[in-house]
Amino acid sequence: MMTKGVDCLANSEVREVAFGGLRCRLQFNPGRAVSASAKVDAKSIAARPCFLCEKNRPAEQRGVDAGGGYVFLCNPMPIFNPHFTVPTLEHQPQRIDTCLPKMLELAERLSGQFTVFYNGPRCGASAPDHLHLQAIPLGATPFEEQLIADVDGFINWSVTGDVSVGLTADPEPPAIVIVGGDRSTMLARVEEVIAKLAEHFPTDPEPMLNALALHTDGLFRVVLFPRASHRPTNFGTDDGQILVSPGLVDMLGLLITPRREDFDKLTGEAVAKIYQEVSRDRQRLIEML
pLDDT of residue 85: 97
Ordered structural domains, the chain, with CATH: 2-31+48-230+279-288 (3.30.428.70)
Residues ≥6 apart with Cβ < 8 Å to 195? none
Residues ≥6 apart with Cβ < 8 Å to 265? none
pLDDT in tens, 91-147: 999 999 999 999 999 999 999 999 999 999 999 999 999 999 999 999 999 999 999
Whole-model pTM? Answer: 0.95
Alpha-carbon distance of 283 to 286, in angstroms, equals 5
Where residue 153 falls (left for φ over 0; alpha for ψ -120 to 50; beta otherwise) is: left
pLDDT in tens, 211-221: 999 999 999 99
In angstroms, the first-to-last Cα distance of the chain is 44
Provide the CB-side half-sphere exposure for 63 (13 A, CA). 21
Q: Which residues pair with 74 in a beta bridge?
A: 84
Amino acid identity, position 65: D
Q: Which residues pair with 157 in a beta bridge?
A: 166
pLDDT of residue 1: 63
Split the chain (289 residues) into runs of 10 and give each run's mean pLDDT.
Answer: 75 89 88 76 88 93 95 94 97 98 98 98 94 97 93 92 94 93 98 97 96 97 98 91 95 95 94 95 94
pLDDT of residue 102: 98
